[in-house]
Amino acid sequence: MDLTRPLDEKQTKSNTRKILRMYRQLERQAGKRITLAGQKIDDTPKGQFQPDRLENKIIRRLDAERECLEILEAVERLEDREKKIIQLTYLLATQCTNYKIGQELQYSERSIERLKSEALIQFAYAYKNGELLVWK
């Protein structure tokens, strides 16, 4: 990470949105609702045993679960307001509009748009040691 070059905010936010939009899909692939509490995977085969197929399925599930946990850990590192905005926008089963988020947090829609932009940059710094950051 080079701190002397300016951050390409547009590309960084694009990368961040892409990761956060994948969260619900990853959660479904993991086969359960992911939380930061310890998880146990039970993938007992049902029917004819096919070790390669089962192994691939378990690996995909574990990868999806690991990615979900990394996303949640990065969200936990955010300030409370930004954490709430990211959760309401990307992590809940029913994603909220800027209007609904604004009502809940008592901000205008325009302010929520600005705060969401700031939250995306904060998330990019927190996720995997800044992996999503793009420098000019």
β-bridge partners, 7: 135
Q: Of 20-24, 29-33, 35-39, 83-87, which range is least confident? A: 35-39
Percent of the chain with pLDDT over 90: 71
C-alpha closest to that of 82 among 120, 110, 109 = 120
**What is the average pLDDT across 14-21?**
96
Per-residue pLDDT tens digits for 62-109: 999 999 999 999 999 999 999 999 999 999 988 899 999 999 999 999
Phi, psi of 135 (to 5 degrees): -105, 145
The distance between the two most distant Cα atoms of the chain, rounded to a whole number of Å, is 58
Residue 103 has which token pair? Answer: 């009502």
Q: How far is CA 85 from the centre of its chain?
A: 12
Pairwise CA distance, residues 72 & 121, whole Å: 15
Given this model, what pLDDT does residue 39 score?
Answer: 46
Is the sign of the CA dihedral 13, 18, 19, 20 positive or negative?
positive
